[in-house]
Amino acid sequence: MCIWFHFLRDQQKYLIMMLIKNKVILVLAIGFILPTMVKANEKLIKSVAFGSCLKQTRPQPIWDSVFLAKPDVFVLLGDNIYGDTRDMEILKNKWNTFSAISNFQKVRSSSYLLGIWDDHDYGENDAGNEYPRKAESQQIFLDFLGEPKDSDRRKTPGIYDSVTLGPDGKRIQFILLDTRYFRTPLKRAVQRERGKGPYEPNISEGAEILGEVQWEWLAKTLDEPAEIRIVASSIQILSTSHGWETWGNFPKERERLLALLKKTNKAGTLIISGDRHSAEISKLEGILPHPILDITSSAMNQRQKPNEEKNPLRVGERYFNENFGLLEIDWTGKSPSILASIRSLSGEVISEYKLENLLSKKINYR
């Protein structure tokens, strides 16, 4: 959540405490603060941009195209820096380097900034719960996001969070998952297949991504009222077979997530992800009344050479140059629609998919 929204919320708490001492000051102060809070939280969200994989020491011209797209919200999906250290001063300095990039500052000042981490900004390549400085890294990451010192996100292990924006009837819930803090170590493939990454699925009972506390939170969060839900995962959920980091390495966790989405049966749900140094759109039928999309945007300045990779759920082609993702929400009809696209360094549409009439079917929805 952004700094000023929390600041105003905390100011409201402080003023309420002053009620006993000075009723007149309180009435005037609440009359000034509360309308500002309502406007901040109820602004209609028409566009959401997102991306991942940013080397803080490399040029980041893609922010100029993001700025021109005028997103209401931008979601950082992980590898927002390449920290890769157990020295917290080094990690902090790398976050500061990223924060100081002028064209990123332009986007940050004009859009509501949300964020999750992945392995490199968490602290180590492909790391999970075994990373020894995760608690310290969490606080540094939340410092970067501007979380208040008394934020609940600072008091609990992990950086998962949810934020709901927009007026009643046109609300978007952002579900920000932590796929690092609780995740058990990856399982190395006994025999690595040609063209695949080094990992294979771990089907043991103790293999997990989210941890039970986050699972309980997620189930409750999905039951909160919203018209559209955007699930942010640092790693891909739908694409499973490439052998690199994916929910497919933890098949029981992936099945549990899809079963939860099916059980809660919330229309308007889609997934955004990063990590892969390439972009693609994956589509899965049969879980919700509409297809579930996993829109992967990576990398914003860490591109890789083209390669072959199977993904039976892919829509269109993979894209290997610098890119960001964009969701354009149309609220004008009886039921909202979303145009999801991958945009190039210059802002050109590379691939897109449209979800229409998202709420046209009556389901378990409030």
- Strands in 116-211 per DSSP E: 161-165, 172-176
pLDDT value for 360: 63
| Residues 6 or more apart in contact with residue 79 via CB below 8 angstroms | 52, 53, 54, 118, 119, 120, 121, 234, 274, 275, 298, 299, 302
Amino acid of residue 63: W
Q: What is the dihedral of CA 271, 295, 228, 167, to 10 degrees?
A: 120
Q: Tens digit of pLDDT per residue, the chain (366 long)?
A: 343 333 333 333 333 333 333 443 333 333 333 333 345 578 999 999 999 999 999 999 999 999 999 999 999 999 999 999 999 999 999 999 999 999 999 999 999 999 999 999 999 999 999 999 999 999 999 999 999 999 999 999 999 999 999 999 999 999 999 999 999 999 999 999 988 999 999 999 999 999 999 999 999 999 999 999 999 999 999 999 999 999 999 999 999 999 999 999 999 999 999 999 999 999 999 999 999 999 999 999 998 889 999 999 999 999 999 999 999 999 999 999 999 999 999 999 999 999 998 886 544 333
Q: What is the pLDDT of residue 359?
A: 80
Residue closest to 241 by CA, chosen among 182, 272, 197, 291: 197
Kind and range of the H or E run holding 349: strand 349-355
At 41 the pLDDT is 79
pTM above 0.85, yes or no: yes
